[in-house]
């Protein structure tokens, strides 16, 4: 259990340290919270520059509202600390 929590924390920290990932996750969190995720997912599906595996991973993360809420909270809290 502790190992899983450590991996979760490390994943959140990696997102926090990567500006592009940070912006993407914050955007997805806002869209999810406001119920406006569908246009983002449609645009993602139409993007020919991304492979199917990447698209699938992004869709999975984008549709996980509790995860996005946790990421958003973590990013806002760590932004205040740094």
- Does 75 reside within a domain? yes
Does the pLDDT at position 7 exceed 80? Answer: no
- Does 31 reside within a domain? no
Q: How many CB atoms lie within 10 A of CB 36?
A: 10
Give CA–CA dist 58/3, Å, rounded: 24
Domain span at residue 67 reads: 51-82
Query: What are the pLDDT digits (tens) for 16-71?
Result: 999 999 999 999 999 999 999 999 999 999 999 999 999 999 999 999 999 999 99
- Does 58 reside within a domain? yes
Domain count, the chain: 1
Task: Say if residue 32 is exposed, middle or buried (CB neighbours under 10 Å; 0-12, 13-18, 19+).
Answer: buried
Biggest CA-to-CA distance, the chain = 39
- Does 76 reside within a domain? yes
- pLDDT value for 76: 92
Q: Whole-prediction pTM value? A: 0.84
């Amino acid at each position: 259990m502790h190992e899983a929590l450590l991996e979760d924390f490390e994943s959140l920290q990696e997102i926090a340290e990567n500006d592009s990932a940070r912006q993407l996750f914050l955007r997805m969190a806002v869209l999810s919270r406001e119920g406006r995720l569908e246009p983002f997912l449609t645009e993602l599906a139409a993007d020919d520059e991304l492979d199917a595996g990447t698209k699938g991973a992004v869709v999975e993360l984008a549709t996980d509202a509790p995860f996005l809420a946790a990421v958003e909270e973590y990013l806002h809290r760590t932004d205040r600390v740094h």
